[in-house]
Structure 1
């Protein structure tokens, strides 16, 4: 995929970088990408939407961060 073509899409250029509304636009674009993936025939093949393994890895990292904060020690991330 050519990122230069992708970044020239109007939906990625509605606000200037750093504009507070850009945060909301980022979520709108993310939800658009998820819907696009669901409606396409290329399921589980999008560089913009994470799969369940990525989600579980992120949750494990957040759990380790919480445990580390509570125990005030380094905690290994479960895989």
Structure 2
């Protein structure tokens, strides 16, 4: 079955919009987690905890960068 152009062209946009909203939500959550990890890092003096917060912050920043890159890719698509 062939759908009219106005219906078939809307579906990929709807998917893109849903993905964009999910990415924005994930970015917001990840940003909050980064802030929380920095706060915890700043509150401790234990060497093991400091090391764990450094790894956590680096992992969260990598995730944030991925989500941001994916969002930019989505916005560039025709």
Structure showing the higher helix proportion among its residues: 2
The TM-score with structure 2 as length reference comes to 0.37
Where relative contact order (Cα < 8 A, 6+ residues apart) is larger, the structure is 2
Question: Larger C-alpha radius of gyration, 1 or 2?
Answer: 2
The TM-score with structure 1 as length reference comes to 0.36
